[in-house]
Amino acid sequence: MLVDGGLAAALAFLGVAAGVVMIIQPGSSVVGISRVAGIPLALLLAVPVIFRRSHPVAAFAAAVVIGGIQVLLNIRPNATDLVIVILLYTLAAYTPRRTSVTGLAVCLVGSAVAVARWMPGQLSVLDAIAVGSIMFAGPSLIAWVFGDSMRYRRAYYTSLEDRAARLEAERDAQAQVAAAAERARIARELHDVVAHNVSVMVVQADGASYALGSDPDRARQALAAISATGRQALTEMRRMLGVLRRDEDGTEPERTPLPGIGQLGELLEQTRATGLAVSFTVEGVPQPLPDGAALAAYRIVQESLTNTRKHGGPRATAQVTLRYLEDALLLRITDDGRGAAAASDGAGHGLTGMRERVAVYGGWVQAGPRPSGGYQVTARLPLTPTAPAPASPALRSSAPASPAPREVLADTNRAGAA
């Protein structure tokens, strides 16, 4: 408004100067009230310039009314009449095109009236049209074109800013989704590490308590196994959580490879050390899996054996089978434990984690009690990455895209305890 106030003051000064010259000029053709009305009209015509940005329509309308009074009083145009051109530009730049076109039409009509009012009678029609176009209609058209172009550019820049804001919001949303996915992945890894190793430690601690009085050597072995298992759990957790922090000197913490198919032997040995008999069979020609798929296979076997140890009973045995097909790895982990009779604590998320892991690679998981007794988990992992399988809140009871063994049933109460 400060700039517009300065512009209004300059135009008002020019208009007052023109009015003073008209009054003191000898032999002027303007007489009567028209001779002295030029000064107040020039002042009034400059006032709307101050409010042209905040109230463009009202400012233009006021200027048109004052300009009409000027024509009626036969006051010749002066520098202050540039106000109407400036306000037409503002109208085109700050209002919708329909409004600015109406203002342009008013200016063109006013131009025709001014030509009829002030042009000498001896001019021909063509000369009058040429003079009117140059003095009145031409400046109005130029002002409207510049103002409309400014409005278009402003709208274009606004759309660019909106698009940039949307892209930034989408980027932030994608970052939040990625962070949530990473948190979920770490939560699954923590669940698998903690559930497996704590289960082993609990079994060894129970054995040590029973053997403490009668067989001290056996108790010492159990305590040593608890210590080794605890250290292994801490090592895995440090490796996993290392991705969340940097060392104090700013360097990345040392990474160790994630477990995969090659580490199943160590897992089975550790499981056998807890007293659970496990057999291991590989069918077909072994083929490499993507690192993520190999980790998923390892975690599925680990979770299944943990569940057998927790729910299968003291005399349960387990069988782990890896069958390499042409395009996929089929894992089958079975036991001869309690099966459907196993009690559920309702607090576990192991099977949900299995489904989420396998769905990422376009595979599937089915789990449930076997008709002949015991429990079975079957998973299929493609050897090459494919589109993720659609998520489902429960394990599917119908056959997936690739046929699954018929003896695998839907989840029962044991699914919630995983």
d(CA 405, CA 324): 15
pLDDT tens digits, the chain, 418 residues: what are they?
678 888 888 888 887 787 777 666 655 555 556 666 778 888 888 899 998 888 999 999 999 998 888 888 877 777 788 888 999 999 999 999 999 999 999 988 887 787 777 665 555 656 666 666 666 778 888 999 999 999 999 899 999 999 999 999 998 888 888 777 767 766 776 666 676 677 777 777 777 777 777 777 777 777 777 777 777 777 766 666 665 554 444 555 555 567 888 889 988 998 888 888 999 999 999 988 877 788 889 889 988 998 888 888 878 899 999 999 988 999 999 999 887 666 555 545 567 778 877 887 889 999 989 888 899 999 999 987 555 544 443 333 333 334 444 333 334 334 444 4
- Compute φ and ψ for 375, nearest 5 degrees: -135, 150
Give yes or no for a contact between 166 and 159, defined as CB atoms under 8 angstroms apart.
no
Contact 281, 320 (CB under 8 A): yes
Span 139-198, pLDDT tens digits: 888 999 999 999 999 899 999 999 999 999 998 888 888 777 767 766 776 666 676 677
Domain 261-418 falls in which CATH fold?
Answer: Heat Shock Protein 90 (3.30.565)
Sheet holding 364-369, edge to edge: 277-283, 317-324, 328-335, 375-382, 364-369
Domain ranges of the chain: 2-163, 261-418
What residues contact residue 99 under an 8 Å CB cut-off, 6+ apart? 57, 91
Give the 3-state DSSP-derived string for the chain, with helices as H, strands as E and coil as C.
Answer: CHHHHHHHHHHHHHHHHHHHHHHHCCCCCCCCHHHHHHHHHHHHHHHHHHHCCCCHHHHHHHHHHHHHHHHHCCCCCCHHHHHHHHHHHHHHHHCCHHHHHHHHHHHHHHHHHHHHHHCCCCCCHHHHHHHHHHHHHHHHHHHHHHHHHHHHHHHHHHHHHHHHHHHHHHHHHHHHHHHHHHHHHHHHHHHHHHHHHHHHHHHHHHHHHHHCCCCHHHHHHHHHHHHHHHHHHHHHHHHHHHHHCCCCCCCCCCCCCCCCHHHHHHHHHHHHHCCCEEEEEEECCCCCCCHHHHHHHHHHHHHHHHHHHHHCCCCCEEEEEEEECCCEEEEEEEECCCHHHCCCCCCCCHHHHHHHHHHHCCCEEEEEECCCCCEEEEEEEECCCCCCCCCCCCCCCCCCCCCCCCCCCCCCHHHHHC
Q: How far apart are CA 105 and CA 254, in angstroms?
A: 76
Residues 6+ apart with CB under 8 A from 358: 296, 300, 364, 365, 379, 380, 381, 389
| Contacts of residue 226, Cβ cutoff 8 Å, sequence gap at least 6 | 201, 204, 205, 208
**Cβ contact 366:402 at 8 Å:** no
How much is the pTM? 0.45
Strands 364-369 and 328-335: unpaired
Dig out the tokens for 331 from the structure. Answer: 């894992």
